[in-house]
Amino acid sequence: MNSKLLFALTAACALGASAWAASPDTGRVTVNFDHPENFTDVKTSFNSDSASSPYLDDFRRFIEAKAVKFLPEGQKLNVTFTDIDLAGDFEPWRGPSRQDTRIIKSIYIPRLKFKYQITDATGAVVKEGQANLTDLNFQDDMPITVDSSEPLRYEKHMLNDWFHDTLKAPKKKK
């Protein structure tokens, strides 16, 4: 291979990697789960383990992607979940063929408990608190545009409301 071409490709890869590593959104949002094995219900099936639930990664990705839209430049958000109780529940008495089906009823409301802290570029705390989100009308509050096949649609809707109420979108620069 031509040495000039090899040098150009190496330089381009290095520039791309450094641009990715220096992305302004990298590390602006941190999501933790405090003892997920003790969470009320974050399981994907009746006998599954809460600590290894793929829903935890789904929560993390959702919050990381959504929060940066609300945080002013230079601020960071740290969220630590202390309990999750997903909408619906498993009803094993329905028999072996349905024991792993999450049944959505108004008596099985979603609940999210977490602590949060927002810091500025110097590390000073701008805002912090605890959130205890519940939605008694979760089945009626869903926008029509929400994908009904999304397993965490009720919880993500509550988090969306929390982002709008607590973080509030930064004002657009003119």
pLDDT, residue 42, reads 87
- Give residue 33's Cα distance to chain centre: 11
pLDDT, residue 145, reads 64
What three-state secondary structure class fits 129? strand
CATH of the domain at 142: 3.40.50
Q: Is residue 13 part of a domain?
A: no
Mean of the per-residue pLDDT values for the chain? 80
| pLDDT > 80? residue 62 | yes
How big is the chain, counted in residues?
A: 174
Show the DSSP H helices in 115-167 as ranges: 153-162
Q: Is residue 62 part of a domain?
A: yes
Q: What is the pLDDT of residues 105-156, one digit of tens each?
A: 899 999 999 999 999 999 999 999 999 999 998 888 776 666 777 889 999 9
Q: Is residue 138 part of a domain?
A: yes
Residue 79 · residue 114 · CB < 8 Å: yes
Mean pLDDT, rounded, for 42-57 = 75
Closest Cα to residue 100, out of 151, 168, 37?
151
Q: What is the pLDDT of residues 73-91, one digit of tens each?
A: 999 999 999 999 999 888 8
What three-state secondary structure class fits 135? coil
Structural domain for 120, as ranges: 24-167
Count of domains forming the chain: 1
Q: Is residue 10 part of a domain?
A: no
